[in-house]
Amino acid sequence: MFLAVTEVLSFKSVLQGAGVLQYPLGFCSIAMVFIVCERAYALRRAAIMPQDLVDAVVAGRPLVGGRHTVLARIVEFAELHKNDEDAVKAFARLEINRMERGVPYLDVIYAAAPLIGLTGTVTGLLQVFSHISPETGLPDPVAFTKGVALALSATVIGLSIAIPALVGSGYLQRKIENYAAQLDVLLERILQRTR
C-alpha cells in the first residue's frame, strides 16, 4: 500500500516537474496512442487484402467477398475503367496513400516530444539556478537536487513518448510498404483481367 502511494506521488511530482509543458506532452501522448491503435486496426490484412480475394485475383476467378477492402476497391475501379491503365495505377497509389493516413504525424511526434521535454528541462534548470543565494553563491543542496530532478522529468516524459512513436511509425510504415509491394504484383493481374 505504501509503495503504491509513493509511486503515485512520484508520478505526480514528475508531471509537475514538466510544468506547463505537460499539456503539449500529454497531447502528443494521446495522439500517438490514438494513431498507432487506429492504424494498426485499419491495416489488418482482412481490411486491406483478404486472402480469398487475393486467391481469386491470382487465379482469375470471379471475385466474391471483401467488398469494402482496398483490393476490392482497386478491382472495382479497374472494371469501371477497363481501357485506362494509368487511371487504375493512379487510383492504386491513392489507396496506398490512404493507408498512410496519420502515420506522418508519428514522425512529428517522435521529433517534437523530446524537444518539448528538453525545453521543460532547460526552463526548470533556469528556475533552479535562479534560486542560488546571492550572499553565499551556493544553493540549498536539498532544494537544488530536488529542482534538478524535477527539471529532468520533462525530458524523461518527452523520451517516453518519442520512443513508442518511433517504434510504431517504423512498424506501420513497414506494413504499408509490404502491402504496397503486394498490391503492385496484384495490380498487374488485375490489369490483365480488364484488357
In the chain, what percentage of residues exceed pLDDT 90?
46
Q: What is the model's pLDDT at position 52?
A: 87
Spatial distance between the Cα atoms of 187 and 89, rounded to a whole number of angstroms: 8
User: Quick one: how far is CA 83 from the chain centroid?
Assistant: 39
Q: What is the model's pLDDT at position 15?
A: 62
Average pLDDT of the chain is 84
Spatial distance between the Cα atoms of 27 and 87, rounded to a whole number of angstroms: 39
pLDDT at position 13 over 70:
no
pLDDT at position 2 over 90:
no
Q: How confident is the model at residue 170 (pLDDT cuts 50, 70, 90)?
A: very high
**pTM given for the model:** 0.80
Spatial distance between the Cα atoms of 46 and 32, rounded to a whole number of angstroms: 24
Contact 117/154 with Cβ under 8 angstroms?
Answer: yes
> pLDDT, tens digit, for every residue of 89-144?
999 999 999 999 999 999 999 999 999 988 888 888 888 777 777 777 777 777 77
> pLDDT, tens digit, for every residue of 66-88?
678 999 999 889 888 888 889 99
- Domain boundaries defined on the chain: 15-194
Which is nearest to 39 in space by CA: 186, 159, 167?
167
CA–CA distance from 167 to each of 5, 34, 116 (Å)? 31, 14, 19
CA–CA distance from 64 to each of 68, 76, 187 (Å)? 11, 12, 17
Q: Which single residue is written with the C-alpha cell 520533462?
A: 154
How many residues would you count in the chain? 195
Q: What is the dihedral of CA 130, 134, 138, 144, to 10 degrees?
A: -30
Q: How confident is the model at residue 59 (pLDDT cuts 50, 70, 90)?
A: confident
